[in-house]
Structure 1
Amino acid sequence: MMAKAKNGSGPAKARGANKQQRTITLPLTDSDDEAEAYRVLAKDVPGWDKLDKDERAELLRLIRDYRKRGAPAKVKMARKPDGGWSIEPTGKSEMLALLKLHETFSANSIDPVNARANELLNYLGSVGADNEARYNAALSFIESMKPQDQAEALLLVQMYCTHDAAIRALSQLGKAEWVDNARMFGNLATKLLGTSQRQMETLARMRRGGEQVIKHIHVDNRGGQAVIAENVNQGGGKAKNEEQCHGAGNTGSGPAMLGQDAQGNGVPISSRERAEAVQDARRDESRRA
């Protein structure tokens, strides 16, 4: 876990000092025994005695959650003589670092890993952010989303770049001194944020799989009003409607049958009694002259 700090103290030393990273080592608290975990933290955490009961419990929870997430894939970048960058896995084990990169991009070979890595590098280079911190931040985002296949990995690369571009447009909007510039960056930010939202919706649809939304439209012939009810089915199954009768094989394309009347008036039912004979309209032949 890394945190930025400045060497020295005071204004004079701060101005001339170079920034460096300070390493904080998290104590091992793998034991399920809370008393044992507290004993380890009391020994290895500076300022433990100044924390109250709730703060100690929260610190223990955060350390355990951090360890469960695991360390994301990281790389080191070096400038090549021709001006480009070389990207190499970093860490104590090259094999472990490479496997983490493969997992980050959900790849079984090095080719898609190189392709996605170069896409990220090309974008960050185009906006002047091609450095280890920004590159590893992008890798951490993609890894945290746990892509299930290479299609999701490709989409997550797009999502990161789109979000970054939208934030850059918004930052330029705040710096704009002219109305035309403000309008241009505002429109650009709006489009990029809309694209980012659609990308998230696309990822959600990909992970939902075969879910279908079926709309049934019921028309009340007495009032001329339509009521739309949505039923969501998993895996493309058929929706079940408890209030409507359907004939066998009815797909819902025809008009809906009348259902229950809210005012208590029943649907007219034909009687089984024999209808009264209708009088013959022809004249009786026996009365003819």
Structure 2
Amino acid sequence: MGKAVSVSTEKKQGKSAATKAAVPAPPKAAPTERDKRESLDAKARILSRRKRVQVKSTGEGSKMELDAMHSDFEGWSAQLKDAFGTTSHDFMARSMALLGTAMQRSGNGRAEGINAGLAVVAGVRPENETEAMLAVQMAATHEAAMSMLDIARGNGTVPAIQAAGGLAVKLLRTYTAQIEALAKLRRGGEQTVRVEHVHVYPGGQAIVGNVSNHGGGGGTQQSGDQPHAPIDPKAIAFAPGSPVWSEDTGRNAVPVPGRER
């Protein structure tokens, strides 16, 4: 009796699952006018960009071979050399091998990862082999960083999350440093732009130029901007009989050393 109930339940569940699978998905909503305009704009921008060179792979793992996407093998080879900024076939082939190793996930060796790496390198548009090596490193570093973040997200243990997350942070910092190195290489070295602000308040005087301190005093001097005319005595004269106040009238105007008192 128990078996009959069990069989009956399984049949009902199977029938219910088959019924659910047979129900067609509801049709998707039609694109709005704005969607249509933005789609046309996106297509136009894609057509204005350079098409990235791609490879076709046959076989898997160590038996995988790369081939051209079309019948013009010579033109395809020229596209690959241009993507790596070189005229050397050996440099291009070596860079492709390194890129393929770095972009493989789980050792599958599919062309998808290689083509993704090629898109990164071609997007950098290296002008020479040095820039191409940096581009390959950037693609490999980004791939490794994303792998570490994936491991940290999928692992429930705190030590594993800390280890993978910490390595991901280091890789992402390395990626930023690689971008800065490429930018510095292209602009031909380090450039420093210094901006100085001079504030002049009412009643004050501004000195523009190199100000130097010649020692012996606490002030600064600058040649070319010093007033050479004598000071008018009237500007500092006092009327006869006018007292000159000090903070402490009980003291001498000028301190006298103890042995001279």
Say whether the fold is shared (TM-score over 0.5). yes
One-letter code aligned to 1:189: A
1:105 and 2:70 are equivalent in the alignment:
no
Cα distance change of structure 1 residues 184 and 53 upon mapping to structure 2, 3 Å threshold? closer
Q: 1:244 aligns with which of 195, 205, 208?
A: 208
Tell me, yes or no, if structure 1 residue 193 matches structure 2 residue 172: yes
SS in 2 for 1:87: strand
- Identity of matched residues, %: 24
Matched, 1:71 2:35: no
- How big is each residue's C-alpha offset from its partner over 1:45-78, in whole Å with a ceiling of 9 and x where there is no partner? xxxxx65554443333222211121321111122
What per-residue deviation string (whole Å, max 9, x for no partner) do you get for residues 253-285 of structure 1? x999679xxxxxxx973534899xxxxxxxxxx
For 2:156 and 2:32, the matched residues in 1 are separated by: 50
* Residues 39-118 of structure 1 aligned to structure 2 (within 5 Å): 53-79=33-59, 83-118=62-97
The one of 117, 121, 127 equivalent to 1:142 is 121
Equivalent in the alignment of 1:17: none
The runs of 5 or more residues in structure 1 that have no matched partner are: 1-9, 13-49, 219-241, 260-266, 276-289
Q: Residues 74 and 243 of structure 1: is their aligned pair in 2 closer, same or farther, counting only changes over 3 Å? A: farther
Deviation at 1:177, TM superposition (A): 2.1
Relative distance call for 1:257 and 1:131 in structure 2 (3 A) is farther
- Contact 1:244–1:257 at 8 Å: present in 2 too? no
SS of residue matched to 2:192? strand
Name which one, 1 or 2, has greater alpha-carbon Rg. 2
Secondary structure at the residue paired with 2:156? Answer: coil
Structure 1 consecutive aligned stretches of length 4 or more whose deviation exceeds 6 Å: none
Kept after mapping to 2: 8 A contact 1:166/1:193:
yes
**2:186 maps to what in 1?**
207
Question: Hey, what does 2:247 align to over in structure 1?
Answer: none
Count of residue correspondences: 197
> 1:187 deviation in Å?
1.2
Which of 1 and 2 has higher RCO (CA within 8 Å, sep 6+)?
2
Tell me which residue corresponds to 2:140: 161
Query: Displacement of 1:126 after TM fit?
Result: 7.1
Relative to total residues, which structure has the larger strand share, 1 or 2? 1
- Distance verdict in 2 for CA 1:217–1:122, change over 3 Å: same
Q: 166, 171, 174: which is aligned to 2:153? A: 174
Mapped to 1, the partners of 2:140 and 2:91 lie a distance apart of: 18
Return the offset for 1:169: 0.5
Deviations 1:145-194 (A, max 9, x none): 21121111110110011011111111111122222111111211111111
Structure 2 gap ranges (5+)? 1-19, 23-29, 198-205, 234-261
Secondary structure of 2:62's aligned partner: coil
Correspondence 1:271 to 2:229: yes
Deviation at 1:88, TM superposition (A): 2.0
Which one-letter code corresponds to 1:179 in the other structure?
Answer: V
TM-score by length of 2: 0.62
CA distance in 2, matches of 1:243, 1:89: 69
1:72 partner SS? coil
SS at match of 1:77: strand
Contact 1:245–1:257 (CA<8 Å) still a contact in 2? no
The answer (yes or no) to whether the contact 1:75–1:132 under 8 Å persists in 2 is yes
- Distance of aligned partners of 1:129 and 1:207 in 2 relative to their CA distance in 1, 3 Å threshold: farther
Q: 1:89·1:97 contact (CA, 8 Å) conserved in 2?
A: yes
Per-residue deviation at 1:129?
4.5
**Bigger helix fraction:** 2
